[in-house]
Amino acid sequence: MSYSITRDFIRFGKSRPGRTNSRIRFIVSHDTGNPGSTAYANRTYFDRSQPSASAHTFIDDKYILEIIPLNEIAYHVRYQIKLDNARFGDDANDAAIGVELCHGGKIQFEEAYKRYVWYHAYLCRKFNLNPDYHIISHATLDPTRRTDPINILRTHGITWDMFIDDVKDELEGNSIQKKTKAKATTDSPQVKGISISLPLKEGDSGSFVRDIQKQLLKSGIGLPLYGADGFFGEETELAVMRFQRTYKLLVDGLVGPQTIKKLEEITKKKTETSDFPLPTNVLQKGDKGEAVKQLQRALKEVQFDPKFIDGIYGELTEDAVLRFQSMYQALLDDGIYGPKTRKFLNLELSE
């Protein structure tokens, strides 16, 4: 094998229920969403905190770390999601391997990405899967709440199609280690995706450019002549400049990390609000009143039933909040309703 796999399983609990999964039908690709958090840091979190969430494997620039055996389920996609059943005939938690890419901080992205590509190819071999059909992003399954790993790949110049092509290359024997050796004597890239450098500029073309054009259109910036044609021409450059001027970025017509980040933020904005009324103040056990009722109604709406809509923040309401918080790694499981919990509850209500 090009890379070694470390198996250091977490203890049984909410994160690792120990239930055997059904036949593996597909792979769900994720990223951790926590910049700088390494594979072992994530293992420590899930082992100690035991939230009702998990993944099988975490990958950084040093480790491919399996924390849950591949023949057991892991809670990496919500059961309420319907696309996994429609496309693969089963829930992702029961029939897919969840693979998380660690990034940011001191993690060397290129090294982590190479391991990420290699491991996806390894899983495809192991379970006889086709990358074109049997690898799906978390963002595709749950688009109103998730951007992983598409967003973090894009910030490094890699589209989803490029990632899949890299996995297919790995399967076909164009191993990343061979590419690494070749780099010493040739200018050919180690991994196709990483050869696409930022910023994008006039004259560039391809699927990444098309993705940017689609986001410009979603943000309200028009491309009346050519639309999302995949070519970065004068029309696209002017559209980028209008977007940058509108959102007070450096107006240079180049699409770098800051412009990509703002595009993601703006195009997601509609999904981050809801018509369902939510209290804006902090609420916790012992509180009473109309704000608590609003929270209780919202929890019931997203199937975290607090049992009673009585305006009393008691044990049942606290438990409902805790169960909701455990779905999101970014939330502290403390049973207290605050700004962060409100934000994610809004996402649920916007579906």
Q: Which regions of the chain carry the CATH code 1.10.101.10?
A: 198-272, 290-349
pLDDT digits (tens, 9 = 90+) for 107-151: 999 999 999 999 999 999 999 999 999 999 999 999 888 889 998
In this prediction, residue 33 has a pLDDT band, given cuts at 50, 70 and 90, of confident
Q: 6-178, what's its fold?
A: Lysozyme-like (3.40.80)
Q: What is the pLDDT of residue 276?
A: 58
Q: How far is CA 256 from CA 172, 196, 198, 259, in A?
A: 32, 12, 6, 6
Over residues 8-13, mean pLDDT:
92
Architecture category of domain 290-349 in CATH: Orthogonal Bundle (1.10)
Alpha carbon distance 329, 58 (integer Å): 14
pLDDT digits (tens, 9 = 90+) for 288-323: 998 999 899 888 877 777 888 899 999 999 999 988
pLDDT digits (tens, 9 = 90+) for 45-101: 999 888 889 999 999 999 999 999 999 999 999 998 888 888 888 999 999 999 999
- The answer to whether the CB of 298 falls within 8 A of the CB of 314 is no
Lowest-pLDDT range of 161-170, 175-184, 306-315, 341-350:
175-184
Phi/psi of residue 232, each to 5°? -85, 85
Q: Which regions of the chain carry the CATH code 3.40.80.10?
A: 6-178
343 pLDDT higher than 50: yes
Q: How far is CA 281 from CA 27, 144, 297, 331, in A?
A: 40, 25, 16, 17
Q: What are the residue ranges of helices labelled H in 50-108?
A: 83-88, 92-95
326 pLDDT higher than 50: yes
Over residues 269-274, mean pLDDT:
47
CATH of domain 198-272: 1.10.101.10
- CA 63 from centroid of its chain's CA atoms: 19
Q: What is the pLDDT of residue 174?
A: 65
Higher pLDDT residue, 95 or 326? 95
Joined together, the tokens standing for residue 56 give 């099988």
